[in-house]
Amino acid sequence: MPHQLPTKPVLTLAVAKLIAAAAEEVAVENQWSVVIAIVDDSGSLLYFQRMDQNANSSVDVAIAKATHAVQYRRPTKFHEELLDKGNMVVLGMPGMIPLEGGIPLYVGEHVVGAIGVSGVRSPQDTIIAEAGEAALKVYLAD
């Protein structure tokens, strides 16, 4: 029997849109204007939308949160909390933005991508991102 490489799950555009739609719904319900960025497991952008009236800075911040989350495989909140406790190393790490609102998307043990949200207060950004993460879990459980 021939050798085979292991496999990993792949985030599709259809599922990314489903994740973003769930996140957007929470934003709209709360009248929060945000940027929503979803990256794949390589850190490449897969889906992105900027709602009207938020600051330009939110574009880079949302993408940075998503990239951080997928590359470090941790919510950006993890490193924000380390920094809050006085661990300044966080500020010297490459590709790190120590502000909550970026969440890796796990399927089992695999990180298939991440969602990053920016535009309102960062705990609110997290609520929106978590709605996206939850939608993925529901989809996979259905």
Please, what is the minimum distance in Å from the beta carbon of residue 82 to a second copy?
10
With CB under 8 A as the contact rule, the residue among 30, 95, 121, 123 that binds a second copy is: 95
Q: Residue 114 forms beta bridges with which residues? A: 39, 104
**88 in contact with a second copy (CB under 8 A):** yes
**49 in contact with a second copy (CB under 8 A):** yes
With CB under 8 A as the contact rule, the residue among 10, 28, 30, 121 that binds a second copy is: 10
Query: For residue 42, how many other CB atoms are within 10 A of its CB?
Result: 9
Cβ neighbours for 125, distance < 8 A, ≥ 6 positions apart: 34, 65, 100, 101, 117, 118, 119
What distance in Å separates the CA atoms of residue 112 and residue 140, rounded to the nearest whole number?
A: 13
Residues that bind a second copy in the complex, under the rule CB under 8 A: 2-13, 15-17, 40-52, 55-57, 59-61, 63-64, 70-73, 80, 83-84, 88-99, 107, 111-112, 139-142
